[in-house]
C-alpha cells in the first residue's frame, strides 16, 4: 500500500511539474525505496509511508537545498533539519523539495531563481508565496502534507490562495535547526494539508524542544489529533472590525463574515476586539525582517556554500562578484534595506523604533486575548492575483502580507482555513490567530467549521 501511495505521489509530482513548476527536486528512487521498506516491515508508525514534500530551504540529507537561489545552486546539506529527523523517525517519506521565493522572500513565488510556481486553480495566477511549491503540491493532490516556512505569512498566504490548510505554529513550538535563516526572530516552520487531522498529526510529530535550537520552548506537546472534535459552545472568537475595511476585496470580506456567522450558529460567542497598532505592522515587519536578513545572508560569500563567481583572484572582489551574480533582485533589495536600517544614524530612527512598535503589536494581541480565545481575520486581502501583476511594485506586493505579519511579530500561532471559492473560482481563506500555544484551539475551531462547511472542490490541475 505505501509503495503504491508514494509512487502515485512521485508520478503526479513529475507529471504536473510541467504545468506547476512546484518541485525543484523529485527523489523517485529514494522515495520508492523507503516506501518499499515501510511495506516490507509492516511499519506502524504514525506517518508510515506518508509522502511529504518539503520547501527547498529546509535541509534534507541527500537532497538539495537551493532556497530558490542561484547562490546555493546544487548545495547538498550533509544533515537533516530537526523537523525532518522527526518526520523520518515517524515513518514519513520525503519525496522532494519544493520551489519557493528566493530565501523565502516574497508573496507570489515569482522571486524564485528557478521560475515561478503556478496556481493549480488557474495557471496564469500566482500560488502565493513564499512557500508556493508546497501549497500547490498539496492543493493539486500530489501529497497530503507539505512543510513550508513562515516569516511573515509564507505558509498561511499560499495556503489561502491555493485552497488548503496552512499552520504557522507558536514561535518556539518546533525547531528551526536546519531551516535556512531569513529573519530568525520571525521564522517558523509550518504545515500544509487538506485535512485538519493531518495538520494535527504532523504538528504532534515535529513539535517540542530541541537542544540544537535554543529558541524552542520546553512546553508539553499535547495529542493534537485527540482534541479536534468537541463543542464550540462558549468559545469566544474575536472580530477585529477595523481589519475588514479599506483594501479588502469585497468577496473575501463577505466570505469571512459568513464564516463568522457559521461560528455563531455553532454556539461560539463573537466579541469585538481592537488591534490599534495593526496599521504599523507592514512597516515594522519590513524593517525587522530586512535587518535580520541582511545579517543572516552575510554568510553566503562564495567560500562556505554553493556558488562562487569565476575569475576573481582577489578576495573582496570574489565576495562582491559572487553575491552580485548569485543573489536575485529582491534579495539584494532586502539586504540593502536591512543594512540601511541598521546603520549608524538610522538605527534609532528605524530599527529601534520598529522593535518598540513590535512590542505594542504584541501587547495588542495579549490584551485582545483577555476577552477571546481566538481572533478571526481574512488571510489575504484578495484571491490569487495574476502572474506579473505586482512584480514591478514591491509596495503593492508587501501589502499582501497585511493580515499575516502580525502573528510573526507577536510570535503567536496562525492557521489559514479554506472557506470557499470566488466568482472566478479562486480559493478564499480565513485566518485564526490565538494566544501562545493555542494550537489545539485553532485546530478544533477549523475542524468544527470544516465539518459544517467542508471544502471539497478540487483544482483543474490535479493528481
CA 201 to chain centre: 17
Q: Which of 25, 107, 112, 441 binds ligand GLN (CB under 6 A)?
A: 107
Q: How many CB atoms lie within 10 A of CB 276?
A: 14
Task: Please give the Cα distance from 299 to 307 (Å, whole number).
Answer: 12
Q: Which of 106, 132, 169, 413 binds ligand GLN (CB under 6 A)?
A: 106
Question: Which residues share a beta bridge with 174?
Answer: 207
Mark residues 401-420: x for contact with ligand GLN by CB under 6 A, - for none: x-------------------
Stretch that binds ligand GLN, among 89-97, 147-155, 193-201, 209-217 (CB under 6 A): 147-155
Stretch that binds ligand GLN, among 47-55, 63-71, 104-112, 387-395 (CB under 6 A): 104-112
Q: Tell me how far CA of residue 453 lies from CA of 259, 377, 417, 448, in angstroms.
A: 9, 17, 11, 9
Task: Please give the Cα distance from 185 to 205 (Å, whole number).
Answer: 23
**20-79 residues near ligand GLN, rule: CB under 6 A:** none
Q: Tell me how far CA of residue 325 lies from CA of 303, 309, 319, 376, in angstroms.
A: 14, 7, 10, 43
Query: Per CB under 6 A, does 166 bind ligand GLN?
Result: no
**Cβ atoms of 48 and 2 closer than 8 Å:** yes
Residue placing its CB nearer to ligand GLN in the complex, 98 or 154: 154
**Cβ atoms of 4 and 95 closer than 8 Å:** no
Q: Which of 141, 152, 338, 435 binds ligand GLN (CB under 6 A)?
A: 152
Query: Per CB under 6 A, does 202 bind ligand GLN?
Result: no
Task: Please give the Cα distance from 79 to 64 (Å, whole number).
Answer: 11
Task: Tell the smallest beta-carbon distance from residue 150 to ligand GLN (Å).
Answer: 5
Stretch that binds ligand GLN, among 151-159, 272-280, 303-311, 433-441 (CB under 6 A): 151-159
Residue placing its CB nearer to ligand GLN in the complex, 106 or 209: 106
Q: Give the DSSP per-residue string, 314-377.
A: SHHHHHHHHHHHHS-HHHHHHHHHHHHHHSTTTTIIIIIHHHHHHHHHHHHHHHHTTT-SEEEE
Task: Tell the smallest beta-carbon distance from residue 411 to ligand GLN (Å).
Answer: 14
Residue placing its CB nearer to ligand GLN in the complex, 129 or 420: 129
Q: Tell me how far CA of residue 160 lies from CA of 107, 141, 420, in angstroms.
A: 12, 16, 10
Mark residues 266-305: x for contact with ligand GLN by CB under 6 A, - for none: -----------------------x----------------
Kindly give the pairing relationship between strand 427-433 and strand 374-378: antiparallel
Task: Tell the smallest beta-carbon distance from residue 331 to ligand GLN (Å).
Answer: 10
Q: Which of 80, 109, 154, 382 binds ligand GLN (CB under 6 A)?
A: 154
Active-site residue set: 55, 130, 154
Q: Which of 151, 277, 379, 380 binds ligand GLN (CB under 6 A)?
A: 151
Q: Which of 56, 150, 198, 292 binds ligand GLN (CB under 6 A)?
A: 150
Tell me, by CB under 6 A, how many residues bind ligand GLN.
14
Set of cell numbers at residue 436: 501562545
**Cβ atoms of 67 and 77 closer than 8 Å:** no
**Cβ atoms of 408 and 151 closer than 8 Å:** yes
Q: Which of 77, 132, 144, 153 binds ligand GLN (CB under 6 A)?
A: 153
Q: Tell me how far CA of residue 229 lies from CA of 164, 203, 256, 277, 439, in angstroms.
A: 20, 17, 22, 34, 14
Stretch that binds ligand GLN, among 101-109, 229-237, 275-283, 367-375 (CB under 6 A): 101-109
**2-31 residues near ligand GLN, rule: CB under 6 A:** none
Q: Which of 53, 104, 200, 412 binds ligand GLN (CB under 6 A)?
A: 104
Applying CB under 6 A, the residues found at the interface with ligand GLN are 104-107, 130, 149-154, 182, 289, 401
Amino acid at each position: 500500500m505505501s509503495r503504491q501511495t508514494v509512487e502515485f505521489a512521485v508520478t503526479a509530482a513529475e507529471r504536473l511539474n510541467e504545468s506547476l513548476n512546484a518541485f525543484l527536486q523529485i527523489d523517485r528512487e529514494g522515495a520508492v525505496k523507503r516506501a518499499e521498506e515501510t511495506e516490507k516491515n509492516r511499519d506502524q508508525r504514525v506517518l508510515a509511508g506518508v509522502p511529504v514534500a518539503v520547501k527547498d530551504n529546509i535541509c534534507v540529507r541527500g537532497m538539495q537545498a537551493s532556497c530558490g537561489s542561484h547562490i546555493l545552486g546544487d548545495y547538498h546539506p550533509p544533515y537533516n533539519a530537526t523537523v525532518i529527523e522527526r518526520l523520518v523517525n515517524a515513518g514519513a517519506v520525503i519525496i522532494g523539495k519544493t520551489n519557493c521565493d528566493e530565501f523565502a522572500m516574497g508573496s507570489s513565488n515569482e522571486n524564485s531563481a528557478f521560475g515561478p510556481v503556478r496556481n493549480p486553480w488557474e495557471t496564469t495566477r500566482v500560488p502565493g508565496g513564499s512557500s508556493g511549491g508546497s501549497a500547490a503540491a498539496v492543493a493539486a493532490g500530489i501529497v497530503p502534507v507539505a512543510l513550508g516556512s513562515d516569516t511573515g505569512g509564507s505558509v498561511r498566504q499560499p495556503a489561502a490562495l491555493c485552497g488548503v490548510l496552512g499552520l504557522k505554529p507558536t514561535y518556539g513550538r518546533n525547531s528551526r535547526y536546519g531551516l535556512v535563516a531569513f529573519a530568525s526572530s520571525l521564522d517558523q516552520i509550518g504545515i500544509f494539508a487538506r485535512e485538519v487531522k493531518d495538520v494535527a498529526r504532523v504538528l504532534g510529530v515535529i513539535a517540542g524542544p530541541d537542544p540544537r535550537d535554543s529558541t524552542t520552548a520546553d512546553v508539553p506537546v499535547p495529542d493534537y489529533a485527540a482534541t479536534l472534535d468537541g463543542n464550540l459552545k462558549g468559545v469566544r472568537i474575536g472580530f477585529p472590525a477595523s481589519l475588514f475595511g479599506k483594501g479588502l476585496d469585497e468577496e473575501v470580506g463577505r466570505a469571512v463574515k459568513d464564516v463568522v456567522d457559521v461560528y455563531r450558529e455553532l454556539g461560539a460567542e463573537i466579541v469585538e476586539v481592537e488591534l490599534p497598532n495593526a496599521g504599523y505592522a507592514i512597516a515594522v515587519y519590513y524593517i525587522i525582517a530586512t535587518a535580520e536578513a541582511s545579517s543572516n545572508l552575510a554568510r553566503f560569500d562564495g567560500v562556505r556554500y554553493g556558488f562562487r563567481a569565476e575569475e576573481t583572484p582577489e578576495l573582496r572582489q570574489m565576495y562582491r562578484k559572487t553575491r552580485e551574480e548569485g543573489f536575485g533582485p529582491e534579495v539584494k533589495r532586502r539586504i540593502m534595506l536591512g543594512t540601511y536600517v541598521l546603520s549608524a544614524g538610522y538605527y534609532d530612527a528605524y530599527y529601534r523604533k520598529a522593535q518598540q512598535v513590535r512590542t505594542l503589536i504584541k501587547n495588542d494581541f495579549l490584551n485582545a486575548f483577555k476577552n477571546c480565545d481566538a481572533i478571526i481575520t481574512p488571510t489575504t486581502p484578495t484571491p490569487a492575483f495574476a502572474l506579473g501583476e505586482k512584480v514591478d511594485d514591491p509596495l503593492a506586493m508587501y501589502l499582501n502580507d497585511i493580515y499575516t505579519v502580525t502573528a510573526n511579530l507577536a510570535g503567536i500561532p496562525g492557521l489559514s482555513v479554506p472557506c470557499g471559492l470566488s466568482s472566478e473560482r479562486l480559493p478564499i481563506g480565513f485566518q485564526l490567530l490565538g494566544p501562545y500555544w493555542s494550537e489545539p484551539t485553532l485546530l478544533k475551531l477549523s475542524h468544527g467549521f470544516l465539518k459544517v462547511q467542508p471544502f471539497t472542490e478540487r483544482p483543474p490541475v490535479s493528481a
